[in-house]
Structure 1
Amino acid sequence: MKVGNKLTIQIITALILGIIVGSVFNLMADQAWVQWIDRYIFNVVGQLFLNMIFMMVVPVVFISIVLGVVNVGDPKMLGGIGIKTLAFYLVTTALAITIAMTVANILNPGEGQSPLLDSDEVSEYRETELEGGATGEAIQQGFDQTLINLVPTNVLEAMSTQNMLQIITFAIFIGIAMIAIKDKTTGLVTLFEQANEVVMWIVLAIMKYFAAIGAFGLVATAFVQAGFGAIQQLGMYFLCVLLALFIHFAIVYGSAVQFLAKKSFIWFIRNFAPAMGVAFSTSSSSAVLPISLETAQENLKVRKSISSFVQPLGSTINMDGTAIMQGVATVFIAQLSGVDLTIMQMITVVIIATIASIGTAGVPGVGLVMLAMVLTAVGLDPAAIGIIIGIDRLLDMTRTMVNVTGDAAIALVINEQQTRREEAGNSRT
């Protein structure tokens, strides 16, 4: 079973229909029958699809990374791939937030909108999230504690809470151990390979039979609840985020695929489109991971040993789309507050947001947590986040698609570079 063009067309069609239907229903959102349809049809269909994907995330990640480590075969080579992957992710995140702040400083989305700081949304966010809320606690988590938390004290708890960094760490240990005693683990390797076939069959079955209708439900309910009303007031902010996302997507990822992987970016988009569509509808990098892995391996021909390591790691720490939102939001809130950010403050934003993309990886609501950290670091009121929450759901869909695309682009780059290195080594011998 393969992710093909027919499924891509179905998902894209479903997304378009979901946007249209959700936007029309949003105009009548106060009607009881619209609320009933949204709650019992759109939401139920979407959440069932989302739950089916989440059901497969842990087994797919764990099995894929174990097999990826075993297939690499050399722990030193694995370490080299890991360092290169981390470097790529940090560089693209830094570029993302730099692009975002440049766009925001040119377009000035917060100019003349200072009354927004007195809105009820700001007061509500301060009371519910910052004063003793989960976000306030999460901000206190330092980078050192994040490093400590890489190693799970309870593997089952890590799996039950879908703590991806801890699952990845445990899977790497298992894979290295299987390499070390490979003469005694032949049967275990076969078992993992068979398990991988089973879970991937389930993933593709979910995609084949439920992806289109699930994507429709998720997007429809998002637009029924958010619609375009909030965009009218924050239109320039919305435009800045979308423009920065597009620039990063086309130029940074396009250049990486075109010049580092030496592949056509159009070819890349066409073949990775199914995963991009699911990412847009689910707004979750973790949820789309099983589809993203299969699409990269089947359509982009990224070898499993690389895809299985690079993409799960990216779904946890690669936050390019989120970094773009942070960059634009920081400049936007500074302009609302009448604050002119200095060059040093802007550099501080880039550094903190880049490091925080790893430092807060295991925290739910990571985008807003990271933004609160950034705002606090440059002396801005994090309660102003309440202003942008109303349209964040719509932007979240787009930036998740960018995040997932970045994971696949880096996996493709590393795969092609590794292939060329091996071919060069073979030619010398």
Structure 2
Amino acid sequence: MKLHHQIFLAMLAGAGIGAITGEHSTLFGVSVLAGFDLVGSLFINALKMLVVPLIVTAIISGMVGVGGGDNLGRMGVKTVFFYMSTSLVAILIGLMLVNLLTPGIIDGEPARNLLGLSAETDNVLAKIEGRGAGDFTEILRQMLPPNLIAAAANGQMLGLIVFALLFGFYLRTEKGSAGETLRQMIDGIYQVMIRITMLIIRFTPIGVFALIAATVTRTGMDAIEPLAWFFLTVLLALFAHAFVFMPALILLLGKRSPIRHIQAMMPALLTAFSSASSAATLPLTMECVQDRAGVSRKTSSFVLPLGATVNMDGTALYECVAAIFIAQAYGMDLSFGMQFMIVVTALLTSIGVASIPAASLVAITVILAAIGLPAEAIGLILVTDRILDMCRTAVNIWGDSVVTVLLARSEGEEQVLSLPVNEMEARAAEAAREHHQAVN
């Protein structure tokens, strides 16, 4: 059974078991609720365990993937600029809508009671009282911590992210066998962390079951309303970014038809939606961009692999909305300084999110730690995560393809989106046959 089917069944089972279980129910003399909490805590702890090694190695590996000094020329600078700009706009769209719709506030009150947070809310708010009240000096201090190990232990990932960016930037240009060995070692650690992440993600149905069962046991079905508003807020933000802002870029900067580009990218977008993995979709994304949109192999082979690593528009948007939703549910006073911290952290962590299903859950724990909220709060959004993961992955792929088209047009590639899809595919097939004959 596919993972998303398992998660869906776990959601139903957790809600059903939680609905018939009371807070004082026991099984063989053991509290059922305590059992749910234990399993849910183990799953959350496993996600937290991944944060430091996965985020750091992913960012370093992504920076190294930019290539040597020759590759980080005009094209490299333009690519990074476009990717960071579109991600920032995505985050700001999410920030605007989550503040406008306030999904974490129901009938004028924080949704903490509906979501089963009332017992721990006072302790959480006491710890974060006064944080982010417009004091940007604390943010700057976290970006350059005096002790990286202490920063990691205290959940201050902002400094580690900045260090990883600097380390990866200079590692990519390091010459000789020492630099090559270190690059291979970092890549090896990253690949191992991906495998460990996939292992833990396989246990997501069990974690989802326990977390949802515990929430429903405490609150009944009252949690549905705030979660439905959160789900709607994310969908609206993703829609606005993907179908308003990005098409406007194609039309205004690319001087091409957005509808034509949607037609060209449809196979890749459907694959991204069903697989929820940017990495798994990358080969098809490159094929659609080259053979159906008319972007040269030279441009697409540089821009798209980099985008699959560092450009996560949908993921960055989702992280921002999720963090603010949880803060709203706790009744936290979101000052401008705190929201600025969320935007910066979401932008930087989106670079280090592995392009595999559900990996953004790891990044959200980083943002929650940055604003002083417990990682356990991520259990609130797991019920909606799978469907939203599919949506934001499709937006990630769409964003990569749009930036590739814009860069190709800026490099003078007039053939981009200039012919119907069927004619473009026919020309690509003819070119492939000619190349095959020439090789033979």
Is the TM value for this pair above 0.5? Answer: yes
* Structure-1 residue corresponding to 2:402: 417
Q: Which amino acid aligns with 1:56?
A: L
Alignment of 1:8-407 (within 5 A): 8-25=4-21, 28-33=22-27, 36-39=30-33, 41-73=35-67, 74=72, 76=77, 77-100=79-102, 109-110=107-108, 133-140=126-133, 142-183=135-176, 185-208=179-202, 210-228=203-221, 231=222, 239=225, 241-258=226-243, 260=246, 262=262, 268-272=272-276, 295-299=277-281, 305-311=306-312, 318-323=319-324, 354-355=339-340, 357-358=342-343, 364=368, 396-397=381-382
- Please say if residues 319 and 403 of structure 1, whose CA atoms lie closer than 8 Å, have aligned partners that are also in contact: no
SS of equivalent residue, structure 1 residue 14: helix
Taking the aligned partners of 2:25 and 2:182, their CA distance within structure 1 comes to: 57
Q: Shift in Å at residue 427 of structure 1?
A: 3.4
Structure 2: segments with no counterpart, 5+ residues: 248-261, 286-303, 347-365, 416-440
Taking the aligned partners of 2:380 and 2:49, their CA distance within structure 1 comes to: 25
Q: 1:418 to 1:359 in 2, by over 3 A?
A: closer
* Structure-2 residue corresponding to 1:337: none
Q: Shift in Å at residue 407 of structure 1?
A: 6.3
59-68 or 47-56: bigger deviation:
47-56
Q: 1:168 to 1:13 in 2, by over 3 A?
A: same
SS of equivalent residue, structure 1 residue 180: coil
165-174 or 301-310: bigger deviation:
301-310
Q: Shift in Å at residue 170 of structure 1?
A: 1.0
Q: 1:22 to 1:175 in 2, by over 3 A?
A: same
Q: Shift in Å at residue 173 of structure 1?
A: 0.5
Q: Which amino acid aligns with 2:413?
A: S
Taking the aligned partners of 2:394 and 2:100, their CA distance within structure 1 comes to: 20
- Please say if residues 61 and 308 of structure 1, whose CA atoms lie closer than 8 Å, have aligned partners that are also in contact: no
Taking the aligned partners of 1:358 and 1:312, their CA distance within structure 2 comes to: 13
Q: Shift in Å at residue 24 of structure 1?
A: 1.4
Residue correspondences, number: 339
Q: Which has the higher helix share?
A: 1
Structure of greater Rg: 2
- Please say if residues 155 and 167 of structure 1, whose CA atoms lie closer than 8 Å, have aligned partners that are also in contact: yes
Structure 1: segments with no counterpart, 5+ residues: 273-294, 334-347, 370-391
Taking the aligned partners of 1:136 and 1:408, their CA distance within structure 2 comes to: 35
SS of equivalent residue, structure 1 residue 138: coil
Q: Shift in Å at residue 67 of structure 1?
A: 1.1
* Structure-1 residue corresponding to 2:356: none
Q: Which amino acid aligns with 1:81?
A: Y
Q: Shift in Å at residue 246 of structure 1?
A: 3.7
* Structure-2 residue corresponding to 1:345: none
Taking the aligned partners of 1:200 and 1:359, their CA distance within structure 2 comes to: 24
Q: Shift in Å at residue 174 of structure 1?
A: 0.7
Taking the aligned partners of 1:35 and 1:220, their CA distance within structure 2 comes to: 19
CA RMSD of aligned residues (A): 4.5
Taking the aligned partners of 1:198 and 1:34, their CA distance within structure 2 comes to: 40
- Please say if residues 138 and 363 of structure 1, whose CA atoms lie closer than 8 Å, have aligned partners that are also in contact: no
- Please say if residues 208 and 379 of structure 2, whose CA atoms lie closer than 8 Å, have aligned partners that are also in contact: no
- Please say if residues 62 and 167 of structure 1, whose CA atoms lie closer than 8 Å, have aligned partners that are also in contact: yes
Q: Which amino acid aligns with 1:419?
A: T
